[in-house]
Structure 1
Amino acid sequence: MPRFARLFEAAADTLNAYYQAIAEGNIDSVMALWIDEEFATFICADGSHLSGLDSIRAGLSAQLESRPVTVEPLDIRVYDSLGTVVYAIAEAHQPVEPSSTPTMVFSTYVMVHERGEWRIAHIHASAMPDEAAGQVAAKMRHGQGPLH
């Protein structure tokens, strides 16, 4: 096994911790995963742009309070290099209300290795157009994965 294998697996641990913290609505746990720099940014699926940790905390707190959600990754593409990992993911954002329909989202997560840990530096989420969401669903049903 190459020396770097565990290094990049740890980035996946950070992503999984993010999904878990979002599902729990735990803003402190979510924010603990971000890089400790004010250049951190989050472009939300609704188009809002959060720049800096205070803005990200406020924006995520408002989103989690008004519409709690679980995030299910449907397809993950990983691009890694020393010190940086980028995830391109097709996700289903399922509201906690059982009768609600999930929102299909394309998300990109940029993680950097900082002080021995993987931290989120940037998230860019875009709502999938209905046509693309239909294509993703059809490919998933046929076992192809959404991005083939």
Structure 2
Amino acid sequence: MPKPKLPPGTPDDTEAAFYDALQHADIERLMACWADEDEIVCVHPGGPRLMGHDAIRAAFDAMFANGAVLAVPETVRRIDTGACSVHSVVERVSVLTDDGPQVAWVLATNVYAKTARGWRMLAHHASPGSRVEPNDHAPARQVLH
């Protein structure tokens, strides 16, 4: 089996490789985006906190058993601090339902760190989807904490 293509040299490159791997259900390429740290973390919409490579890989393997995940980053806001980059992402996720194709909007946070292997993902945290596209300028309706 050939080695997975590693993402090139920026956080944006790693993010593009991550979403491309999702869209092609390519577990090897997807896992190549993650850092080698034991404490990497992933939270899927409405799911538990998954810690470490084995748990994250198992969750994506289960997802890919149903096919590719058609998630496309529509809007990305970045905070770069040199060795760390935090991306606040609005994902457009296409889903096929009994009523036909639908779109869900998911808010996600992706955290990247510059490692010896280049920029790698430390965390992916995604909110439950909404049928309504988020508005970055809408006033807050409720403060949770």
Asked if TM exceeds 0.5, the reply is yes
Q: In angstroms, what is the RMSD of aligned CA positions? A: 2.1
Aligned to 2:49: 49
Q: Distance in 1 between matches of 2:101 and 2:130?
A: 18
Structure 1 range deviating more: 25-34 or 40-49: 40-49
Which ranges in structure 2 are unaligned for 5 or more consecutive residues? 1-8, 138-145
One-letter amino acid matched to 1:121: L
Check conservation: 2:104, 2:130, Cα contact below 8 A. Answer: no
One-letter amino acid matched to 2:136: L
Q: Distance in 1 between matches of 2:90 and 2:11?
A: 18
When you count helix as a share of all residues, which structure comes out higher?
1
Q: Distance in 2 between matches of 1:115 and 1:88?
A: 24
TM-score under structure 2 length normalisation: 0.80
Aligned to 2:136: 147
**What percentage of aligned pairs have identical amino acids?**
27
Check conservation: 1:39, 1:52, Cα contact below 8 A. Answer: yes
> What is the SS of the residue equivalent to 2:74?
strand
Q: Distance in 1 between matches of 2:48 and 2:92?
A: 19
Tell me which stretches of 4 or more aligned residues in structure 1 moved more than 6 Å: none
- 1:91-134 Cα shifts (integer Å, max 9, x gaps): 1111368x32122100000000001500000011002445xx25
Taking a change above 3 Å as real, the CA distance of residues 25 and 38 of structure 1, as seen in their structure-2 partners, is same
Q: Distance in 1 between matches of 2:10 and 2:63?
A: 27
Which ranges in structure 1 are unaligned for 5 or more consecutive residues? 1-8, 137-145
How far 1:25 moved relative to its partner?
A: 0.3
Check conservation: 1:88, 1:106, Cα contact below 8 A. Answer: yes
Q: Distance in 1 between matches of 2:30 and 2:102?
A: 24
Check conservation: 2:96, 2:102, Cα contact below 8 A. Answer: no
Alignment of 1:49-128 (within 5 A): 49-95=49-95, 99-128=100-129
Check conservation: 1:68, 1:95, Cα contact below 8 A. Answer: no
TM-score under structure 1 length normalisation: 0.78
Q: Distance in 2 between matches of 1:64 and 1:46?
A: 18
